[in-house]
Amino acid sequence: MKVGVVGCGFFAQNHLHAWTDLVPRGIEIAAVCDVDPAKAKAAAEKFGVPHWYSDAEAMFRERSLGLVDIVTRVGTHQRLVELAVSHKVPAIVQKPFGPDIAACREMTQASKQAGLFLAVHENFRFQAPMRRIRALLQAGTIGTPSWARISFRTAYDIYKGQPYLALEERFVLIDLGVHVLDMARALLGEVEHLSAETQRRNPNVRGEDTATVMMRHTSGAVSIVECTYEARRLPDVFPETLIEIEGSKGAIVLKPGSILEVAVNGKLNREDVDPPVLPWAERPWHIVQESVLAACSHMLEALQSGGAADTSAHDNVRTFAVAEAAYEAAKSGRAVKVATI
Ligand code: NAD
Ligand code: 89Y
């Protein structure tokens, strides 16, 4: 499976490591591409990739790719996905899928019409603690879940590695909200309606840096999703998501340090669900980095078996619709029904 990676910036380094780890599963990084030739060349040298490009069109024309992994920022996703579709190449695109729901729907439709695999690199639902919690829910360990709080609160200096975030007009819901709202969907199912409040607490950023969302899921469960880049707490648990879920038989609480507490029938079981720090990873990012490998591994398996990924374009449009509904709810001050796709 010849993969081409487009975008060789900050986060693409994790993808390049993950694809390198997946070489024994049939992956060959055939080419890398970045509009900044220095970045493309540096990535090719670092990861031993035989070809580098500064023009994605040329890469598609000259290499027969079996997969393209798009790791650029959101403004270029639609053009690059359409380029992949026109060259009949299956694609993975980083979150946020698109700048708005219309773009996400158009990309989904284009890949569907061409009969092509398109998935979104939504890695948070593949984090080690999430994999364990989902397995516990699936096994019915705490019965039917009916309430949850999913919380990402930090003041870690994300602007250092990702300075562009300070300039986003639609900020935390699109950058981080899509991850945390996706986790809520993965844990409790589809969302029927929601209400939301957004705040810009840091005067030096353009968009909202805090969102508090209350959701009713179609199952009847209720969840609260919290995202902020302005929680000046200690310890700062970045980039951990803290989770509490209550069910008919018990409760699951994911605590700082990836300590998972599972209470069933009055008995408490405590597990350490922190993933290993991969040889190329480092704290505090290791949870996210390990989930990049898990997400790539899952999507590769789906592609190789001819199936859709858990985080297919079709699935991710639903998460994006929840984020759009949250913006609308925050703006109107009313509860908003989530659009069905
Ligand atoms: P970045 O700006 O560091 O890197 C993007 C790279 O894409 C740049 O090097 C740029 O030159 C290149 N590029 C832009 N247009 C291009 C084009 N048309 N063809 C080829 N290359 C092009 O950004 P980043 O921080 O690496 O973010 C990339 C994506 O990853 C964003 O969508 C971001 O939201 C996402 N991200 C995801 C996670 C996660 O956990 N899933 C974490 C951080 C960032
Ligand atoms: O941009 C964000 C993301 O997608 O995951 C973590 C992050 O890099 C900073 O919170």
3-class DSSP string for 15-60: HHHHHHHCHHHCCEEEEEECCCHHHHHHHHHHHCCCEEECCHHHHH
Q: What is the pLDDT of residue 341?
A: 74
Q: What is the pLDDT of residue 312?
A: 98
Please name which of 244, 251, 189, 249 lies closest in space to residue 221, comparing C-alpha atoms: 189
Any ligand 1 atom below 6 A from CB of 6: yes
Question: 3-state class of 162 per DSSP?
Answer: coil
Can you tell me which atom of ligand 1 is nearest the CA of 122? 41
> Residue 281 C-alpha to ligand 1 middle, in angstroms?
18
**Helical ranges in 197-285 per DSSP H:** none
Q: Are 328 and 181 in contact (CB under 8 A)?
A: no
> Residue 9 C-alpha to ligand 2 middle, in angstroms?
14
Q: What is the pLDDT of residue 340?
A: 85
> Residue 247 C-alpha to ligand 1 middle, in angstroms?
39
Any ligand 1 atom below 6 A from CB of 288: yes
- Residues 179-202 have pLDDT tens digits of 999 999 999 999 999 999 999 999
> Residue 9 C-alpha to ligand 1 middle, in angstroms?
6
Distance CA(84)–CA(227), nearest Å, equals 33
Distance CA(41)–CA(16), nearest Å, equals 13
Residues of the chain with pLDDT under 50: none
The pair of structure tokens assigned to 297 is: 């591994």
> Residue 171 C-alpha to ligand 2 middle, in angstroms?
11
> Residue 94 C-alpha to ligand 1 middle, in angstroms?
8
Element (H, E) at 246: strand 242-247
Any ligand 1 atom below 6 A from CB of 63: no
Question: 3-state class of 254 per DSSP?
Answer: strand
Other beta carbons less than 10 A from residue 325's beta carbon: 24
Can you tell me which atom of ligand 2 is nearest the CA of 161? 8
Q: Are 224 and 240 in contact (CB under 8 A)?
A: no
> Residue 95 C-alpha to ligand 2 middle, in angstroms?
10
From 14, 57, 73, mutation site for ligand 1 pocket: most ligand atoms within 8 A of C-beta: 73
Any ligand 1 atom below 6 A from CB of 54: no
Dihedral in degrees, nearest 10, Cα atoms 308, 309, 310, 314: -60
Any ligand 1 atom below 6 A from CB of 73: yes
Can you tell me which atom of ligand 1 is nearest the CA of 7? 7
Residue nearest to atom 8 of ligand 2 (CA): 158
Can you tell me which atom of ligand 2 is nearest the CA of 229? 10
